Chain A
């Protein structure tokens, strides 16, 4: 595992100075490496992890599985690109699954909004031959961070000496 990427994937807030200290490198080396990762499309940006469950009126989220007939030349890519292009689609994955091919996460204001988006925009696309929608009720963990106030967050260790 690449240590620099590992640290950044857990916390994007560290300064290059701090990263350099942690990795035993110079700050210059770290800056160059980060730039190289950006140039190669490995580092794609850094977002803030938000627990939308706690934001009133933040809407709903759903996972949409799509069964797709791949195109002869481009396979699943073309259809994935169309799904990606919708603004309310947050992520799109190609899955190795016997039931579905593409998996998308979608955000909407209400359940009806999402349902309508699936039935009118996604199901109607050429090559999409079936969909299955699962609405997210609770975020327990996202981006490696526990979102619920679980016991795991609490210190369970005690001072014994």
Chain B
């Protein structure tokens, strides 16, 4: 008889499945559940972008593209980053089109990390960095960001975590799940530490366009001296509501991008061709779409933060992405207990904070990529839950 346990990669077997799924799966089996758990835009891709994808298929553009993506798309990405975030990249050697931002993250980690190398991962954060590091033989070094710092990474926390084995810092801002944003002054503090060491930074800026308030997102590569030390990961999923098209990119120094390209060539060959045509249209004519969606998210964000604060689920004001990360301390429950009781008592699905790292304990991730009407109903149910099931007295 075959013994799979001896055949399967032991590193892979040791990786825990993502904790985000659990409550979504429960929700799927119950009727009339309202979910605030999904992490992708509720908007459909703008029509003119979809049309370009359709047109590409109609014209028969069904072949592979060049490995690093069509040059027209790379030029557009380069122009876009210069236009919106003030950083210039050479489309010939410094831009790589990938299958979603996730592939770009994977490529970067694998291109850099070897057995025993340390990778600094601020948490709470998206769940992919740790397993990808482990699969490369690297050692994830978790930096716990704190709610009193609004979940930003501080220079002191970074400095304390760096050792001679450190090779890579993950900079996941705007942050999923906390909604934290690093403004220019915060990034400059981080840069002062980075420039003293020979380490690379993977700046995951997939939510860059979803930054609220007066100041726009600042790319870490825009901080003086940091471009040569940074691989920026971006994509079309969040900014243009194009998750299903699976298209992202990496921007960075030629010596890093060229190695990432080699990996990409062997494992993926090239990103989907029709998606690339659609993405060119998005970059050429999609700035207004970004603005429209951003404004809509902003209204929802203000609504949900205000509602949570009123009912005693305190949260710092998230300035990016489409998540709020309220403290559920008032309930006296653990994150998992809170989410489990909430789904059974009031049929609202949210994700426990500890799914994004142990330091997310005591919090929950609530997504507002849902219609206002949907959010309004969910918020009312959560409030009812606090009164009826957690014994919160009426304020």
Contacts and interface: CB of A to CB of B under 8 A. Distances in A.
Contacts of A11: 372-373, 376
B115 interface: no
Contact of B303 (A3, A10, A21): A21
B145 interface: no
Contacts of B295: 3
Interface residues of B, number: 24
Interface in B99-140: 127-128
A161 B306 contact: no
Interface string B22-55: 0011000000000101111010000000000000
Q: By DSSP majority rule, is chain A's interface helix, strand, loop, or mixed?
A: loop
B307 interface: yes
Interface in B1-21: 18, 20-21
Nearest to A7: B299
A23 B300 CA distance: 10
A161 B20 contact: yes
A49 to B, nearest CB: 12
A10 B302 contact: no
Contacts of B24: 159
Interface class of chain B by DSSP: helix
Contacts of B38: 155, 157, 159
Given A10-B372, A157-B42, A159-B37, A23 B302 contact: yes
A22 B302 contact: yes
B21 A161 contact: yes
Max chain B CB contacts within 10 Å: which of A3, A10, A22, A159? A159
Interface residues of A, number: 16
A18 interface: yes
Contacts of A159: 20-21, 24-25, 37-38
A45 interface: no
Contacts of A10: 372-373
A22 B303 contact: yes
A41 interface: no
Contact of B299 (A13, A22, A155, A157): A22
Interface string B216-236: 000000000000000000000
Contacts of B127: 161
A24 interface: yes
A7 B37 CA distance: 24
B348 to A, nearest CB: 14
Given A159-B24, A159-B38, A161-B128, A18 B307 contact: yes
Contact of A21 (B21, B25, B306): B306
Nearest to B21: A159
Interface string A61-97: 0000000000000000000000000000000000000
Contacts of B306: 18, 21-22
Contacts of A160: 40
Contacts of B42: 157
B299 A23 contact: yes
Given A161-B18, A161-B21, A161-B127, A21 B372 contact: no
A25 to B, nearest CB: 10
Contacts of A24: 302
B21 A157 contact: no
Interface string A5-17: 0010011011000
A159 B35 CA distance: 11
Closest 6 CB pairs of A and B: A21-B306, A159-B24, A22-B303, A22-B299, A22-B302, A161-B18
5 contacts: A7-B372, A10-B373, A18-B303, A21-B306, A161-B128
